[in-house]
């Protein structure tokens, strides 16, 4: 049985027995209905996998479920059933279907399932949800009436060959006939090609009739921001599947490389990581809104590549949650790309780009959401070439996970990071979630800590930095708490009645200000230092 995720949640049986909280159940049903659908497992406690072994469910509860959910929600369909677990205990599995139109509670509240949480929607978000959830999806529409026989034979042969050679496709799917495969992937409906089938298999004329088939523009700029080169893919001759490889092959700048010194040797590194560029192209082609016109722009500057895609991020995904939230806008197209091995599983593509960029000593990708576009930027220049050797050595010895490599890369590029700073870089809402990303780095002595709670500072073990020739300049960034306390006392002995800003200026601005404030507060609390005044006007002196 799966843990809680985008499409699964657990509830205690207490929410529907005794003082039942049906409004909470209705809210969760609306969340799933506005997402991709899902399951509520009622009768299993949080943190548990199975229900209590002696738990039994009254069958009358199923009728109560159907009645109460229909009374408390709009556009929500549920199917409750009693399941007996492996330990003999019973629970209710409530299956919620994806709503055809926008779902809400009967009192006009809207919610959306994002990750493993239920997010309320207000204002413009409700309008966005309505726009992104039309009564009929764009992919299976057949309004152009193009027959399924009007396909490009070469494109069809390449698609079928790729599907049958893929390790991601079940044997039962590979055994399907040609017509069955077209139906299975939603490329045809009866004798007619769907919009998705036209996009992937039709000729240039068919794609142009769609009106929203992707056009890609590559623009190269020099150091002064002047345009020096332009390439276009605007004749609709290539399907999105073919565009990925064509763009990579036809833009020579992507395949440039340069050498970096590495001890007595020199290492050849690519200007842009191929996997990162391909993932950027896949994201732009798969996740764009195909109900909206707009070109995809690849803006190449001397120090960076910027990909601009029309449309905003899917509702529920923000630049701050891109590493953790995942929502597909074009399910069938994403499925084809995944089965052909052209994209990672849902929600892992951006993680891979983080990992690859940091492993090469480059900054992590940055994402900006505009009014009607999304900009993703990856940097070309390597900030610290020694990071490459550090991560390679650690990975070879310990077989790091993807999250561990990302965290190690972030720490190696910085002098040290507080728990709050590291959580912000990893887009985590709470510092308590850092353990999953640090993984075994502290246990193996790769990463060390100083301080406590949110003031905890994380840094790469100095000996490893030295071995990788990544030795940092000596600073006070990682000063230990007891040494900082004595430093503050000595400063106040010399300069009594000082403001905290003056103390910070004298003892070293590289020391985190919040760390200094906690030290001053502790000295005041113990009576070693006297504070006069309040807020910005407070002054400190030794007792």
Are both 500 and 392 inside the same structural domain?
Answer: no
Which CATH number covers residue 451? 1.10.10.10
Give the whole-angstrom CA distance, residue 218 versus residue 232. Answer: 6
pLDDT above 90 (res 327): no
Residue 1 is predicted with a pLDDT of 41
> Among the three residues 467, 498, 531, which one is the final residue of a domain in this structure?
467
Structure tokens at 528: 């070693």
359: pLDDT strictly greater than 90: no
* Burial of residue 307 (number of CB atoms within 10 Å: 0-12, 13-18, 19+): buried
Q: pLDDT at position 537, please?
A: 82
d(CA 498, CA 533): 11
The domain in which residue 107 lies consists of 8-132
Q: Count of domains in the chain?
A: 5
Are residue 460 and residue 495 in the same domain, yes or no? no
Mean pLDDT estimate for the chain: 86
Look at residue 317 and tell me if it is in a domain.
no
* Cβ–Cβ < 8 Å for 163, 173: yes
Query: Residue 121: which residues within 8 A CB-CB, separation 6 or more?
Result: 34, 110, 111, 112, 129, 315
Based on the domain organization, do 16 and 92 belong to the same domain? Answer: yes
* Residue-wise pLDDT tens digits, 118-173: 888 887 788 778 777 655 578 998 888 999 889 999 999 999 999 999 999 999 99
Q: Is the dihedral of CA 8, 11, 17, 22 positive or negative?
A: negative
pLDDT tens per residue, range 21-58: 888 889 999 999 888 788 989 888 877 888 888 888 88
The pLDDT, as a whole number, for residue 284 is: 92
Residue 368 and residue 245 share a domain: yes
Distance from C-alpha of 351 to C-alpha of 355, rounded to nearest angstrom: 6
**What single DSSP character describes residue 400?**
-
Co-location of 250 and 373 in the same domain:
yes
Residue 288 lies in a domain: yes
- Give yes or no: residues 234 and 354 share one domain: yes
Q: Is residue 198 part of a domain?
A: yes
SS3 427: coil
Residues 197 and 225 in one domain: no
Q: Which residue has the higher pLDDT, 319 or 232?
A: 232
Does the residue 325 lie in any domain? no
Same domain? 196 vs 287: no
Q: Are residues 98 and 166 in the same domain?
A: no
What is the band of 258 on the pLDDT scale with cuts at 50, 70, 90? confident
- Cβ contact 360:269 at 8 Å: yes
Residue 156 is predicted with a pLDDT of 94
Same domain membership, residue 500 and residue 374: no
Among 409, 443, 467, the domain-final residue is: 467
- CATH of residue 235's domain is 3.30.565.60
Decide which of 438, 467, 496 is a domain's last residue.
467
Tokens of 32: 């799933």
DSSP state of 98: P
Closest CA to 144 of 96, 201, 90: 201
Residue 476 lies in a domain: no
Please report whether residue 507 resides in a domain.
Answer: yes
Q: Would 275 be classed as within a structural domain?
A: yes
The answer to whether 144 and 198 are in contact (CB under 8 A) is yes
Please indicate, yes or no, if residue 446 is contained in any of the structural domains: yes
Same structural domain, 27 and 99 = yes
Is the domain of 485 the same as that of 444? no
């Amino acid at each position: 049985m799966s843990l809680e995720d985008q499409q699964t949640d657990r509830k205690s049986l207490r929410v529907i027995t005794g003082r039942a909280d049906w409004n909470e159940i209705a809210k969760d049903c609306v969340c799933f209905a506005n997402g991709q659908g899902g399951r509520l497992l009622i009768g299993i406690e949080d943190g548990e996998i199975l229900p209590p072994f002696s738990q039994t469910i009254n069958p009358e509860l199923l009728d109560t479920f159907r009645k109460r959910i229909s009374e408390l929600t709009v556009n929500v369909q549920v199917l409750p059933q009693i399941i007996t677990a492996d330990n003999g205990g019973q629970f209710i599995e409530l299956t919620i279907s994806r709503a055809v139109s926008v779902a809400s509670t009967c009192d006009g509240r809207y919610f959306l399932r994002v990750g493993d949480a239920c997010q309320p929607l207000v204002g413009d978000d409700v309008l966005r949800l309505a726009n992104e959830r039309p009564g009929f999806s764009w992919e299976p529409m057949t309004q152009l009436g193009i027959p399924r026989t009007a396909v490009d034979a070469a494109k069809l042969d390449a698609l079928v060959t790729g599907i049958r050679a893929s390790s991601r496709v079940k044997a039962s799917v590979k055994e399907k006939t040609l017509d069955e495969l077209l139906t299975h992937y939603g490329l045809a409906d009866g004798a007619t090609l769907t919009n998705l089938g036209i996009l992937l298999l039709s000729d240039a004329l068919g794609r142009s009739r769609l009106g929203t088939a992707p056009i890609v523009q590559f623009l190269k700029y020099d150091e002064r921001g002047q345009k020096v080169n332009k390439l276009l893919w605007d004749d609709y001759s290539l399907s999105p599947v073919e565009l990925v490889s064509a763009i990579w092959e036809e833009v020579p700048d992507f395949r440039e490389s340069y050498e970096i010194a590495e001890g007595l040797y020199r290492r050849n590194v690519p200007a842009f990581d191929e996997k990162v560029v391909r993932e950027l192209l896949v994201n732009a082609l798969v996740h764009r809104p195909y109900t909206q016109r707009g070109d995809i722009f690849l803006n190449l500057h001397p120090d960076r590549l910027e990909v601009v895609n029309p449309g905003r991020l899917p509702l529920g995904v923000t630049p701050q949650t891109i590493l953790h939230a995942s929502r597909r806008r074009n399910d069938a197209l994403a499925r084809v790309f995944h089965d052909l091995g052209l994209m990672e599983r849902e929600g892992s593509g951006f993680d891979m780009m983080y990992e690859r960029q940091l492993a090469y000593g480059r900054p992590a990708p940055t994402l900006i959401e505009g009014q009607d576009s999304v900009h993703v930027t990856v940097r070309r220049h390597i900030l610290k070439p020694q990071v490459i050797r550090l991560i390679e050595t650690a990975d070879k010895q310990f077989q790091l996970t993807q999250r561990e490599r990302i965290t190690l890369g972030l720490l190696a590029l910085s002098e040290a990071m507080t728990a709050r700073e590291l959580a912000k870089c990893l887009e985590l809402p709470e510092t308590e979630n850092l353990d999953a990303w640090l993984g075994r780095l502290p246990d193996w002595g790769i990463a060390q800590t100083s301080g406590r709670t949110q003031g905890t500072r994380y840094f790469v073990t100095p000996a490893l930095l030295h071995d990788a020739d990544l030795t940092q300049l000596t600073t006070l960034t990682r000063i230990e708490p007891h040494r900082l306390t004595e430093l503050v006392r000595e400063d106040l002995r010399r300069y009594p009645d000082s403001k905290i800003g003056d103390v910070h200026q004298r003892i070293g601005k590289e020391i985190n200000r919040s760390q200094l404030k906690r030290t001053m507060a502790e000295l005041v609390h113990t009576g070693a230092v006297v504070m006069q005044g309040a807020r910005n006007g407070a002054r400190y002196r030794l007792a």
